[in-house]
Amino acid sequence: MHLNNKELPFQEIGDYPSTYSSTNILCRLIEGLGYRYYWATASLNRSDLDYRPSDDSWTTLQIIEHIYGLSLALISTFHNKEFDFTQDSFNYHELREKTLCNFQFAHDKLIEDPKLNKLIIKLNMNGNHMTFPFWNHINGPISDAIWHCGQVVTNRRASGNPIDSKVNVFIGKTMS
């Protein structure tokens, strides 16, 4: 299934909840990530995707592929599956859509069943099987994805295609 930009999640962040809870805070963090990713990756062209600030840096497309991998690590926990760091290759549009949908899936699963203490991260790093509490997703894949969204924004600015100046991450909406 291929969605158009109007149907992709996180074009804006909805109203905030009336109460603070661990689930609401974590959901809001994922919404902030989704919003940043949506706009960081919107309307990139071939020159943006191929841009790299130095020979030993990733291209913007490689960063987007990495963020997709981080989203896979996150959702594997909700499927109670071990993540082994392999992923299929997709083009920019597919990566963008799949990543946003993965963030939406994680967000929705947290709302559906907010028992974070029962969510276990299972990793297979080169045959080394490890488990971690959900806490590690916060300082791991979620924070790393936010970090890399900033790289995409910086790269696109350097390649001559800055992010839409109407994007306002503080309020989670695009200003008119």
Q: Which regions of the chain are under pLDDT 70? A: 1-6
**Amino acid 6: pLDDT:** 61
d(CA 75, CA 104): 10
**Amino acid 94: pLDDT:** 98
DSSP 53: S
Q: Are strands 120-125 and 82-83 parallel, antiparallel or unpaired?
A: parallel
Using CA atoms, how far residue 38 sits from 13, 14, 29, in Å, is 11, 14, 14
Task: Copy the structure tokens of residue 105.
Answer: 């899936």
Query: Using N-to-C axis directions, what is the helix angle for 22-40 and 143-158, rounded to 10°?
Result: 20
Using CA atoms, how far residue 58 sits from 49, 62, 129, 131, in Å, is 10, 6, 28, 29
**Amino acid 31: pLDDT:** 98
**Amino acid 3: pLDDT:** 58
Beta-carbon count within 10 A of 175 CB = 9
- pLDDT digits over 9-23, tens only? 999 999 999 999 999
Q: What letters, b where the CB count within 10 A reaches 16 and e where it falls short, cover 125-157?
A: eeeeeeeeebebbeebbbebbbebbebbbbbbe
**Amino acid 2: pLDDT:** 55
Residue type, 96: R
Single out the residue of 62, 9, 38, 29 nearest to residue 142, CA to CA. 29
Question: What are the φ and ψ backbone dihedral angles of 38, each rounded to 5 degrees?
Answer: -50, -50
State the pTM of this model. 0.95
Question: What are the φ and ψ backbone dihedral angles of 133, each rounded to 5 degrees?
Answer: -75, 165
**Amino acid 4: pLDDT:** 58
Give the chain's length.
Answer: 176
Query: Using N-to-C axis directions, what is the helix angle for 60-78 and 92-112, rounded to 10°?
Result: 30
d(CA 161, CA 117): 42
**Amino acid 114: pLDDT:** 84
